[in-house]
Structure 1
């Protein structure tokens, strides 16, 4: 007996946890103000100013998600969630 059922599309229930978290991660990244600006501002040379990147982060609606991502993934370079690598390291030590 042939199965005449139409193929069904995948729902959130059908996604693996990695796929689901990846979709959520991509969603906040698409909303990030830094995605609409010059990425070099967020990765200044050693001793370079972080002022412009932090100004953009302060106005960003997904700043908390960005910082959480950086802390979870141990991002060592750039401005994430409005904090430099040194500031994130200090925060991580305070939390631990």
Structure 2
């Protein structure tokens, strides 16, 4: 019924709470578990034409047409930033910057061979 309060246990609980709040602070500084750096500028996404159209066009089923998505990308002012983001983050699905995943792989491979 009565619990004896152990000051050492209380202190370690305070330390655990401090560690947790410090971990939360680090998580918020680094982004979600350190996966996404908060210093990444994603403001270009607000200007992306794809955000104003049907997202399914940019993620066609296997063997589906990419024509409509690429038409939108061709008119988009932030196409280069979009493509660079997809390459930097190894995006494996969808049309980004006017290129499919297969086209991005070829593009990335060609760029790496040019640097050799």
TM-score (norm 1): 0.77
Q: Rg bigger for which structure?
A: 2
Aligned positions, number: 78
Task: Give the equivalent residue in structure 1 for 2:64.
Answer: 48
Mark the runs of 5 or more structure 2 residues left unpaired by the alignment. Answer: 1-28, 31-36
5+ residue gaps, structure 1, are 1-14
Q: In structure 2, what is the equivalent of residue 7 of structure 1?
A: none
Deviation at 1:19, TM superposition (A): 2.7
Is 1:89 matched with 2:109?
Answer: no
Question: Runs of at least 4 residues of structure 1 off by over 4 A?
Answer: none
Normalising by the residue count of structure 2, what TM-score does the alignment of the two structures yield? 0.64
User: Secondary structure, in 3 states, of the residue corresponding to 1:71?
Assistant: helix
Whichever structure has more helix as a proportion of its residues is 2
- Following superposition of structure 1 onto structure 2, how do residues 31-70 of structure 1 map, counting pairs within 5 Å? 31-70=47-86
